[in-house]
Structure 1
Amino acid sequence: MERREFMHKSSGATVLGLAAAAGLLPAAASAQNAPGWNKAAFETKSLNDAVKALGGSAAVESKDLVLQAPEIAENGNVVRIGAQSNIPGTTQVAFVIEKNPYALTAVFDIPAGTDASVATNVKMGQSSNVYALAKAGDKYYYAVKEVKVTLGGCGG
């Protein structure tokens, strides 16, 4: 092996090793071991199952929860969605995508005294109802909108 090739290969391995030691590389399954991780909730297949796994009994529709989502998503790989809860005492906002392999897509804890407004990018495999789900007290509320996907994301 030539000196130049050796230096190139060894310096790359050194950088990778230092990054891993510094915690800059993602650890496999670290989220699954995090305190508060609710694996069962993220494996649900419907809105009702997600509500139950999160600790509720049933969700009711609310006009005080506003869901922002496009009517048509030209690319299911990146769909921007958001929610604003005007329900007093909102402590959690989540997103459920009905036809994704796992319906519960994201859960955000809302600290006391802050606006319950969140947004994220999601992946959608096909046209589906998208739900914003808000928890206030021990009750769950939802808003729903159909999003039509023209180019597949999760499986297309």
Structure 2
Amino acid sequence: MNHKRREALRLTAVIGLMAATGLISQAEAAAWNKAAFEGKTLDEVLKALGGSSADKSGAITINAPDIAENGAVVPVGVTTTMAKTQQIAILVEKNPSALAAQFIMTADTEPFVASRVKMGQTSNVHALVKADGKWFVSTKEVKVTLGGCGG
């Protein structure tokens, strides 16, 4: 498992170095999914990521608190048991930009991601998973008691 994490870190470092040395421009590195991060709804983000619809799935688990005491740093993890997982995205429905994080998975990657997201208010958190060319979604409501996105 540590080998897989090291590989993911190595790929991130390589992309950063490519941007820093001019092999790819920083605009290319940052703008490749700009439309997805500008999406306001689940459907807009899904369309920007190349999907048309997402089926609900019980094979996706969202690990997030039921109540977040501080909306500025809400831990969210997503795990799936689906084979051939290609992407995992975390969306916060009521944030100004719904897409909080997007992860591209390789064939050797364990289908698990974790991040901390900002949440301005109580909202549904969606986990979008692309597996074997199809999109799936799972949703969990997270209640926020202290605002993080301007609240």
Q: Does 1:65 align with 2:60?
A: yes
Q: Which has the larger radius of gyration?
A: 1
Residue 119 of structure 2 is matched in structure 1 by 124
Q: Please report how far the alpha carbon of residue 37 of structure 1 lies from its aligned counterpart in structure 2 after TM superposition.
A: 1.9
SS of aligned partner of 1:125: coil
1:6-47 CA distances to partner (integer Å, 9 max, x unpaired)?
xxxxxxxxxxxxxxxxx9xx9xxx754317721111000111
Say if 1:90 and 1:135, in contact at 8 Å, map to a contact too: yes
Quickly say closer, same or farther: Cα 1:35–1:121, change in 2 above 3 A: closer
Q: After the TM superposition, which residues 77-116 of structure 1 pair with which residues of structure 2 at under 5 Å, given as runs?
A: 77-116=72-111
Identity %, equivalent residues: 53
SS of aligned partner of 1:112: coil
Q: Please report how far the alpha carbon of residue 138 of structure 1 lies from its aligned counterpart in structure 2 after TM superposition.
A: 2.2
1:48-86 CA distances to partner (integer Å, 9 max, x unpaired)?
111111000101110111111110000000000000011
Q: TM-score, normalised by structure 2?
A: 0.80
Question: What code does the residue aligned with 1:94 have?
Answer: A
Quickly say closer, same or farther: Cα 1:88–1:125, change in 2 above 3 A: same
Structure 1 residues not aligned, in runs of 5+ = 1-22
Structure with more helix by fraction: 2
RMSD over aligned Cα atoms: 1.8
Counting matched residue pairs gives 129
Residue 39 of structure 2 is matched in structure 1 by 44
Quickly say closer, same or farther: Cα 1:80–1:134, change in 2 above 3 A: same
SS of aligned partner of 2:32: coil
Structure 2 residues not aligned, in runs of 5+ = 1-16
SS of aligned partner of 1:42: helix
Say if 1:31 and 1:37, in contact at 8 Å, map to a contact too: no
Q: TM-score, normalised by structure 1?
A: 0.78
Q: Distance in 2 between matches of 1:78 and 1:128?
A: 14
Residue 151 of structure 1 is matched in structure 2 by 146
